[in-house]
Amino acid sequence: MQSKQSNSGFFNIDKPIGVTSMDVVRKIRKEINSKKIGHGGTLDPLATGVLPIAIGNATRLLEYVLNYSKTYVAEIEIGKTSNTYDSEGDFSNQKSYDHITKSMIDIELNNFKGIINQTPPTFSAIKKDGVRMYQLARKGIDVKIPSRQVEIKALELKKFNPPYLTIKINCSKGFYVRSFAHELGDKIGTGAYLKSLNRIASGDMSIENSVPLNFLIEQLKHKDYSNLITNFDTVLSHMPKEKLTEEESIKLKSGQKILHHHSISQNELLRVFDENDVFFGIAEFLHTENILKPVKMFI
């Protein structure tokens, strides 16, 4: 169960091609007439798939959703390069790929796994001195972008049909699949770009449980969408659950730390539920002191 949050929760949107993540936010905001709405991880216009949308008090949880790992299915074309690293750019440097084998791709994919330094694309929404990088790139202004640490948790070559590769990727936040496609092309010496991208999971949200954007908009017009909202605690299911007594719940809700014994031996965020098994917030367990400290309360 979850605490009563009027018009609050998450939509698991299957974003269509050709719209930005903010376009999705604007379309939904127009129908529900709420300023408290946000998305849990940008998808490029050419990308499709899972886009978590928070409404109402659920927007307070977006920082956790943004930190989730993501899973993508990417179609990459080798033998070509693009200045945007995807199909929207200008193509150049066509090279032969006849010598490329499946085992060569498997070897290179294995080398990408783990924590790596990745340079974001020049054509990206990252800001430099308050200006989006893609705006500078379109003006021909060359700006050096610092690399960042990201993690590739799993890589799997699902289909090998040169010049096309279909790759499943599980990665951390901040990972650019476009950059990965470009770097893979450099590694194998043929060049490559991202032809299409589908995000099939974002944390606990999966493509199987997603809702097409157009369907959701129709439901919103008819004010019939309560069954499409995902509960707060469901989105946070990766966090351990802790059920508290009535006294403990009252103190935590009022902002007090409480003495509480737990079996874990490290500091950890927990979903906290009251004596009626109703979710009411997030608390941090401080294991050295056996204390629960309120982090975000929904009461």
Q: Is the pTM of this model over 0.85?
A: yes
Which of 44, 86, 233, 274 is catalytic? The answer is: 44
Q: List, run by run, the mean pLDDT of 10-residue segments along the chain (299 residues).
A: 60 95 94 87 93 92 89 97 91 91 97 93 70 66 81 97 98 94 96 97 93 94 85 82 94 93 82 93 91 91
Q: Which residues, other chains included, contact 91 with Cβ-Cβ below 8 Å and sequence gap of 6+?
A: 80, 81, 82, 193
Same domain, 110 and 198: yes
Residue 263: domain span: 239-297
CA-to-CA distance for 177 and 261, rounded, in angstroms? 43
Output the pLDDT for position 67. Answer: 86
44 is catalytic: yes
Asked if residues 292 and 252 have their Cβ atoms less than 8 Å apart, the reply is yes
Matching residue, tokens 């694309």 = 121
Q: What is the model's pLDDT at position 110?
A: 96
Spatial contact of 267 and 285, defined as CB atoms under 8 Å apart: yes
| Domain count of the fold of the chain | 3
Q: Are residue 102 and residue 247 in the same domain, yes or no? A: no
**pLDDT at residue number 140:** 67
Is 246 found in the same domain as 185? no
CATH of the domain at 89: 3.30.2350.10
Q: What is the pLDDT of residue 121?
A: 83
Does 177 map to a domain?
Answer: yes
Which pLDDT score is estimated for 33?
A: 74
Our CA angle for 137, 138, 140, nearest 5°, is 65
Same structural domain, 289 and 247:
yes
Same domain, 177 and 90: yes
Rounded CA separation 68/56 (Å): 20
pLDDT of residue 147: 86
Q: In this structure, are 245 and 285 located in the same domain?
A: yes
Q: Which residues contact 128 (CB under 8 A, 6 or more apart)?
A: 136, 143, 145
